[in-house]
Amino acid sequence: MTFVDNYPKATRVVKASFIVAFIALAIGGLFGTIQALHRTNIFRGFVSSVEYYTVLTGHGVLLALVFTTFFIVGLYQWGVSRSLDREPENMRFTWSWFWIMTIGTVLTTIAIVGGLVPGSSISAAVLYTFYPPLQGHPLFYIGAALLIIGSWMAGADWFRSYLVWRKDHPDDKIPLLTYMTLFTMLLWYICTIGVALEVVVLLIPWSLGFVTNIDPLLPRTLFWFFGHAVVYFWLLPAYFVWYTILPKLSGGRLFSDSLARVAFLLFLLLSTPIGYHHQYADPGISIGFKFWALVGTLIILLPSLMTAFTVISSMEHGARQRGGKGYFAWMGALPWNDPAFVGVALAGIMFAAGGFSGMINASLNINMLVHNTAWVPGHFHLTVGTATALTFMAITYWILPQLTGRTLKYKKLALAQPYTWFLGMTLMSNALHRAGLAGIPRRTAEPEYAGFAFEAPFGTIAEMKWQIAIGGVILFVSLVMFLAVIVRSWVGGERVPNPVDDYIPPPLSGSEHSPAILDNMKLWVGLAIILVLFAYTFPLAEMVMDGLFSPGAPPSPV
Amino acid sequence: MATPQESNAPTDAPAAEAVMSEERSDIVREISLEEFTPSGTLAVTGAYFLLLLVLYALMYFVEFAGNGPSIIN
């Protein structure tokens, strides 16, 4: 008996969500490889340098918004059904959020891919950060809005399940899997207010031609109101896996339930008010608010460092139960032959490296040295591109058998896949970071200039280019390996009663040691809103007071 | 169905030590909270902090000390 036998209705929606996620992953990954070859000038035959920006937009939106969001709703539906021991309350409502998200995704994808069709009037080369003056087709914005509305409904579905569960369990602590789901969604509700206002009030009327000019700063600020917290919307589901499943895969148990809860509520409190750290180079926002964002960003390192402690100690517990010894040698006792464990563990190691470059990004003064350079994609390919994406891929090796009732096929290929990803990302990301230190810009189809040569502080520019291109190709190979394992296992795995050991042991220090205040959602949401009001009220009021669309600038391309 | 420990609170197992009911062949001995001292975690996180310090110092030398004063000049 596994998940599909206990919750067949929930299983169908989880599988449907994973299918959309993996299609987006395949297309977005292909686009990424094209970019890696194009910008390094290794091969520029796939697209023109104008179409490069359409490919870049597709890569960013399909991976950072579509793959992540669909995988997250599937993963969280799995977690909520399992930990509350419930099917969704009303399948019509559950399927309606799935289809709203899917229709939104199709509309947005049509708008982006239209840019690659000769003679098409539809295009949306607005990059992943879709703020003005870059303007896309209205379908892009309408689709993005539907994707977000669908995700809100998914959250409402889980809150509903929780409330029904609560009636039968008035005195229980919220089960940890559901706690993490609900706190992520609370964060998501708060931060998406910014992007919803940006898209619905400003960008849709502007893209439809109802207004001709737009104030570049206001929608940009609303985007970053959402745009930093969204990284925690990607990351917290990875933490959900690291805290609740990784200890089991390591052969141990979660070290502390309370620490996991504290980390999630700190993210709820701190992730939205710090969006200005993406606008350190923007005029129009006073240095005081940027400094506040700097302080908040350094404080938000705390829950990630707490996570490092809790997750590493849980793994160590597993290693020692498996006979591991010593200060460092215990790591050798971990199950490095289990693809799910390997992928999640390597994702965590990459995240530690991404933590360093994130600290540099967060630091107001040093940020200026790497702002808008290749360092930035170097950073987020370690975080969302590995900590999140590799965790999602690896945990699919463990969850998919629970959804299909079939065993995993191509196990050796599955085991090689995370190592391949790690190798490809090591090559690409270290070179992107160093290219950024050399001043090479990000988001540029042809980052080369006549009569000027970049000077590399480490290595050579030519070697960096090759590492980026080869790394990008290896990542694509790894992606194909992942898809081959998944498709083959989905349709060809052997049907057995227990296709995977899905038992999750309780934490070493469980919720009986966890203070009740950690479960007080009203308190933490109230505090989170107060912190957002402190950060955003005055700057936004100042931008709005001279009119929503002024001072106005024309769209680009005109 | 999910075990009671998972469904009501994966964390709320009253007899937490007795829940390792599903024997795993790879576990050679069970270690309770009282027996567990995460000294390896201390070593790994300590090494990570040292690495952060080294990288910060490297950034300083690459970006500041490697170049002559600009604003002061």
Domain annotation covers residue A453: no
- For residue range A210-235, list pLDDT tens digits in order: 999 999 899 999 999 999 999 999 99
Mean pLDDT computed over A367-379: 94
Total tally of structural domains belonging to chain A: 1
Mean pLDDT for chain A overall: 96
Residue range A445-469, pLDDT digits in tens: 999 999 999 988 889 999 999 999 9
Place A275 in a pLDDT band, splitting at 50, 70 and 90: very high
Give pLDDT, residue A138: 97
B22 contacts A503? CB cut-off 8 A: yes
User: What are residue A452's phi and psi, to 5 degrees?
Assistant: -140, 135
* Nearest residue to A308 (alpha-carbon basis) of B39, B50, B53, B48: B48
Q: What is the pLDDT of residue B21?
A: 44
Which residues, 6+ apart, have CB-to-CB distance to A144 below 8 Å?
A61, A65, A104, A108, A130, A195, A199
pLDDT given at position A119: 92
Q: Which domain holds residue A98?
A: 3-447+464-545
Q: Judge whether residue A436 has pLDDT over 60.
A: yes
| Whether the Cβ atoms of residue A28 and residue A62 lie closer than 8 Å to each other | yes
| Domain assignment of residue A400, yes or no | yes
Within-domain flag for A552: no
Kindly give the residue spans of alpha helices, DSSP state H, lying in A169-196: 176-196
Residue of B nearest to A324 (CA): B28
Q: Is A133 within the bounds of a domain?
A: yes
Question: Contact A326/B7, CB-based, under 8 Å?
Answer: no
- Residue A449 distance to chain B (closest CA, Å): 22
* HSE toward the beta carbon, residue A54, CA cutoff 13 A: 23
pLDDT of residue A556: 72
The pLDDT assigned to A558 comes to: 52
- In whole angstroms, give the CA distance from residue A421 to residue A385: 10
Helix and strand numbers, DSSP H then E, in chain B: 2, 0
CA dihedral angle for residue B59, residue B61, residue B62, residue B68, rounded to 10 degrees: 140
- CA–CA dist A230, A362 (Å, integer): 16
* Inter-chain CB proximity A251 and B3 less than 8 Å: no
Could you say which of A176, A317, A359 has the minimum Cβ distance to residue B31? A317
On the question of pLDDT at A192 being above 90, the answer is: yes
> How close are the terminal C-alpha atoms of chain B, in Å?
72
pLDDT over threshold 90, residue A251: yes
Q: Looking at residue A152, what is its pLDDT?
A: 98
B44-56 pLDDT, tens digit each: 999 999 999 998 8
- Nearest 5°: phi and psi at A450? -65, 135
Give the chain A residue nearest B36 (alpha carbons).
Answer: A317
The pLDDT of residue B73 is above 70: no
Residue A113 has pLDDT above 80, yes or no: yes
Q: Which tokens in the block code for residue A265?
A: 């509520």
Q: Is the confidence at residue A557, as pLDDT, over 80?
A: no
3-state secondary structure A64-114: HHHHHHHHHHHHHHHHHHHHHCCCCCCHHHHHHHHHHHHHHHHHHHHHHHH
Cα separation, A476 vs B35, in Å, equals 45
Residue A551 forms part of a structural domain: no
Q: Tell me, what's the pLDDT at A456?
A: 87
pLDDT digits (tens, 9 = 90+) for A158-168: 999 999 999 99
Confidence label for B10 from pLDDT (cuts 50, 70 and 90): very low
pLDDT of residue B13: 37
Residues 6+ apart with CB under 8 A from A535: A272, A273, A274, A275, A276, A289, A292, A293, A296
CATH number at residue A161: 1.20.210.10
Task: Check whether B16 has a pLDDT greater than 50.
Answer: no
Say if A198 falls within a structural domain: yes
Residue A292 pLDDT > 80: yes
- Residue whose C-alpha is closest to residue A510's, from A265, A184, A181, A175: A175
Predicted pLDDT at A368 = 87
Please list the alpha-helical segments (H only) found in A300-410.
301-321, 339-362, 364-370, 375-382, 389-404
The answer, yes or no, to whether residue B3 has pLDDT greater than 90, is: no
pLDDT at A434: 94
Residue B44 lies in a domain: yes
Average pLDDT over residues A180-207: 96
What pLDDT was estimated at residue B58? 81
B46 vs A contacts (CB less than 8 Å): none
User: Which band of pLDDT confidence, cut at 50, 70 and 90, is reported for residue B14?
Assistant: very low
**Structure ipTM over 0.90, yes or no:** no
Q: What is the predicted pLDDT for the residue at A284? A: 86
Band (pLDDT 50/70/90 cuts) for residue B6 is very low
For residue B66, name the pLDDT band (cuts at 50, 70, 90): low
- Total count of domains within chain B: 1
Judge whether B6 is closer than 8 Å to chain A, CB to CB: yes
Residue A144 within a domain: yes
Task: State both tokens at A247.
Answer: 């200890």
Angle CA(A461)–CA(A463)–CA(A468) in degrees, nearest 5?
95
Domain-located, residue B47: yes
At residue B64 the predicted structure's pLDDT band, cuts being 50, 70 and 90, is low
Q: Do the domain assignments include residue B60?
A: yes
> Would you state the pLDDT for residue B25?
72
Closest CA to A343 of A302, A399, A301: A399
The parent domain of residue B43 ranges over 38-68
| Closest CA relative to residue A488, chosen from A552, A408, A427 | A408
Distance between CA atoms of residues A86 and A135, nearest Å: 44
Please tell me if residue B4 touches chain A, with a CB cutoff of 8 Å: no
Question: Which among B5, B6, B7, B11 is the top mutation candidate for probing chain A, defined by the most A β-carbons within 10 Å of its own β-carbon?
Answer: B11
CA A135, A138, A141 angle in degrees (round to 5)?
Answer: 85
- Is residue A502 assigned to a domain? yes
Q: Closest to B8 (Cβ–Cβ): which among A172, A244, A437?
A: A172
The answer to whether residue B1 sits within a structural domain is no
pLDDT (tens digit, 9 = 90+) per residue, A387-410? 999 999 999 999 999 999 999 999
As a whole number of angstroms, the distance between CA A73 and CA A64 comes to 14
Query: Per-residue confidence at A503, pLDDT binned at 50, 70, 90?
Result: very high
Please indicate whether, in this complex, the C-beta atoms of B41 and A309 are within 8 angstroms of each other.
yes
Give the span between the Cα atoms of A311 and A351, in whole angstroms: 13
Q: Do A312 and B41 touch (CB under 8 A)?
A: yes
pLDDT band at B17; cut points 50, 70, 90: very low
Q: Across the interface, do A6 and B2 touch by the CB < 8 Å criterion?
A: yes
HSE (side-chain half, CA atoms, 13 Å) at A540: 19
